[in-house]
Amino acid sequence: MRLCVLVSGSGTILEAMLEADVEVTLVAADRPCRALDVARTAGVRALLVDRQKFGGFRATFDRAAYSEELARALQGEHIDLVAMAGFGTIVTGDFHRAFPGRVLNTHPSLLPDFAGWHAVAASLKAGVRESGCTVHVATEALDDGPILAQRRVQVFSDDDESSLHERIKAVERVLYPEVVARVMASLAQGREPESVAGALEEN
């Protein structure tokens, strides 16, 4: 199985995957970032598909053209599975259709609760007693798709967004590599990613 990890930032999730011996074929980024250096240091092919060429972060950003270019680049590397790891660009349905059911994502809440970019802040505002992280099959709809695994994190009375998010990320860096490895094994056996749902008990 040929895995591509999509990144935009520091690469801590990528580091966790590499430390867990997940076999990463390609790391692709939408902007220059530390994660590309993490990949190169580990001897993994690093690819920059820079969104600046498609309008950058302006309102004129051509999301459709960027998504098409990214899909083409990954298909050129014969990628079987895509794992988003802090990837900051929302891709179009054309990208998901290029890798149907083969794009994974991790999100800092217990989906379907608190989807969207500000999940941790929304969790605190709602006064929940527990949050966590969710690994799911990504779809064109933001933070939607079949849930593969979740882990819970207690919310403390003195938590702020930063402290809670750090504890969620610590759990995420354990859960996500486990799920990715199981999905890769399932695909190698001819099963779809959803077959791992429920196989990992919540901790």
User: Taking CA 10 as the corner, what is the angle to CA 157 and CA 83, rounded to the nearest 5 degrees?
Assistant: 90
CA distances to 77, 82, 96, 138, 169 from 52, rounded to whole Å, are: 22, 22, 22, 24, 28
Residues 78, 96, 107, 165: which is the catalytic one? 107
Q: Which residues pair with 23 in a beta bridge?
A: none
Q: 8, 29 in Cβ contact below 8 A?
A: yes
- DSSP-assigned beta bridge partners for residue 82: 4, 103
Among all chains, which residue has been given the structure tokens 């790891």?
A: 85
- Residue 22's contacts (CB-CB under 8 Å, 6 or more residues apart) are 3, 177, 180, 181, 184
Residue pair 82/47 in contact by the 8 Å Cβ criterion: no
The whole-angstrom distance between residue 110's C-alpha and the CA centroid of its chain comes to 15
Residue 118 is a catalytic residue? no
Active-site residue numbers? 107
